[in-house]
Amino acid sequence: MSRMGVTGLGFGRYFTRHMALARWTHGSGWSGVELTGHGPLALSPAAMALHYGQAIFEGLKAYPQQDGSLALFRPGVNAERLNRSAVRLAMPELPEELFVEACSAVVRADADEVPRGPGQSLYLRPFMIAVEPSLGVRPALEYLFAVIASPVDHFFADGYQAIDVWCASDQIRAARGGTGAAKCAGNYAGSLAAKAEAVAQGCHEVLWLDAQERRWVEELGAMNFFCVTQDDGAPLLVTPRLSGTILAGNTRDSLLRIAPDLGVRVAERPVALDELTDPRGRVTEAFACGTAASVVPIGAVTTAHGRVRIGDGRPGKITTMLRDELAAVQYGTQPDSYGWMHPVRAPEAAAAPAR
């Protein structure tokens, strides 16, 4: 079924017809990529991922281009990050070509299911889990890598507006030496109670602080954090350094490269919660960013001491400019001067014999 131009897709609610699978076993290494129908996996109830949490994932999108073709955004960055997550969780690394081939195979097979309305795209969810049936506490000897795909709406399908964030008081997301920099399933499980707390406080997302001092802003549950400060009258785009407890977002990295080209200086440095919530402070804008939602303005921060508005509480100028510029690259409405877009070749081209 074609969902062209259909709204109400939401995020991760519908899946396309196909998925890609590859298997790893100790001794044989990785199998080739198999394209198959999207459907249930046969899994032993003793599959180790279910018990000891060897489960990592990625998220990237295929964007419809102006000529009707489809392109992945920086898939190599996701492939590398999956491997860093794999190393942290004592799982096998995956050749980058296999990762990109699996993503491309699903996009090619389900190209007719990619929604083409404004801001819509095909979200890809590559993941790897331990499938060996065993209750021994050790790295598994068998793994499954899979890519599934979901046609998704513009995150702001109901209108572009700022979100409220809740600064969790007693829980933490990641500590030095932990798994915070890995995109692993357990990090998300550990964040859900705080997210529920945020929602109960009338907020949309959790803004996590560092584990040690509970003083420094780290990131959101699934998005990196940025703010804009006025520094000698000129705007400065600031984001916390990757210290080992923050996930290295592809969107974060891309915005750090786009901003200077738009004349906005950038700095990676610690951001204190106090700096953000000082009503006489220099912070004029804040936003979160990630693949799923792109750029999300933050309008207010709520702590145990109350709610503090950021700027005028509405999406900031620089925030919106960065959002628009990133979208222009991703949807190909302006030339890809960064070389970030990875075209997914049509089946004819893929099938053509090499000469």
Between 196 and 350, name the residue whose CB sits nearer to ligand PLP. 196
Q: Which stretch binds ligand PLP (CB under 6 A): 48-56, 193-201, 216-224, 326-334?
A: 216-224
Between 222 and 286, name the residue whose CB sits nearer to ligand PLP. 222
CB of 250 to ligand PLP, least distance (A): 3
The reply to whether 121 sits near ligand PLP by the rule CB under 6 A is: no
For ligand PLP, the binding residues in 157-176 under the rule CB under 6 A are none
Between 102 and 296, name the residue whose CB sits nearer to ligand PLP. 296
Binding test (CB under 6 A) with ligand PLP, winner from 108, 125, 183, 342: 183
The reply to whether 290 sits near ligand PLP by the rule CB under 6 A is: yes
CB of 237 to ligand PLP, least distance (A): 16
Binding test (CB under 6 A) with ligand PLP, winner from 107, 247, 273, 300: 247
CB of 222 to ligand PLP, least distance (A): 5
Distance separating alpha carbons of residues 192 and 207, to the nearest angstrom: 13
CB of 220 to ligand PLP, least distance (A): 7
Count how many Cα atoms sit within 13 Å of the Cα of residue 143 in the half-sphere of its side chain. Answer: 26
Distance separating alpha carbons of residues 215 and 15, to the nearest angstrom: 40
**Cβ proximity of 193 and 187 under 8 Å:** no
CB of 319 to ligand PLP, least distance (A): 15
Binding test (CB under 6 A) with ligand PLP, winner from 250, 277, 302, 330: 250
Q: What is the dihedral of CA 32, 36, 38, 40, to 10 degrees?
A: -80
CB of 48 to ligand PLP, least distance (A): 22
Binding test (CB under 6 A) with ligand PLP, winner from 224, 277, 302, 303: 224
Between 142 and 287, name the residue whose CB sits nearer to ligand PLP. 287
Binding test (CB under 6 A) with ligand PLP, winner from 64, 75, 249, 297: 249
221 token code pair: 């549950």
Site string (50-79) toward ligand PLP, x via CB under 6 A = ---------x--------------------
Residues pairing with 21 in the sheet: 34, 146
Which residues bind to ligand PLP, rule: CB under 6 A? 59, 183, 219, 222-224, 247, 249-252, 290-291
